[in-house]
Amino acid sequence: MSRIEQVFSELRKTGRKAFMPFITAGDPDLGFTKELVRALSEAGSSLIEVGVPYSDPIADGPVIQASYTRALSQGVRSGDVLRTLASITADLNAPVVLMVSYAVVFRRGLAAFVEQAEQAGVAGLIVPDLPIEESDPLREACDHRGLDLVQLITPTTPRSRAIRIAQAGRGFLYYVSVAGITGERRELPKELVDNLAWLRTQTSLPVCVGFGISRAEHVRLLAPVVDGIIVGSAIVRHVAETAEKSRRQVLDEIRKYVAELIAAIPTSSE
């Protein structure tokens, strides 16, 4: 059983759902990233998604794009991210999942990148620009090192293809809540709950939902039909405020925000 599978197994035993925050590595610098990852782990996150800055992300909205730009302007590269994670993952309560462009992985070499990720304590990879038809070599490299290659499904994915993607998935399935880019939204699509409920009937993998989720009411709406909630842009927006506020204040605000969202997740007994 992989570390990600262990997390969901333990959550199921207690009737709880996963909370997974997303942050950009190196925004505003890698020192703050280490503090933030520790804070998110201590706040009760089940897993932590860490984005590797990339100049041309395919699905990220302006908030996360700006965070990538800030990190890249500091000279942050994938090797720096992995070395930073290697210094903290052993002390975390939550496994780290790396969001990374396939170009970054390919440039280093699949086996070499996965080996370094495993040595850094990373539990899984999410590669949003890698189509299922071309994913076998990276999935095999991840399987060899005990990492989970997480697959994404979107609202526009045909159901026959969604089933195929689910069959190739590892760890959990990442369901993209909206057709479009990341970013906070006031309302989520009306058909989202039905789509998620259907997907859970097609796979034994945990289903987690992300994109656009930022409010406690979103969490309460979706928690009954998923195994995990992913929140990114709202947290990254808080991080951007380090330009105006003290880092300690921003960390405290993020802890409070995350605690409110986790508290909004009902257990199966509620």
The answer to whether 143 is a known catalytic residue is no
Identified catalytic residue from 5, 10, 42, 49: 49
**Residues ≥6 apart with Cβ < 8 Å to 168:** 132, 135, 139, 151
The answer to whether 244 is a known catalytic residue is no
Identified catalytic residue from 5, 10, 60, 217: 60
Rounded distance, CA 98 to CA 81, Å? 10
Cα of first residue to Cα of last residue in the chain, in angstroms, is 29
Positions annotated as catalytic residues are 49, 60
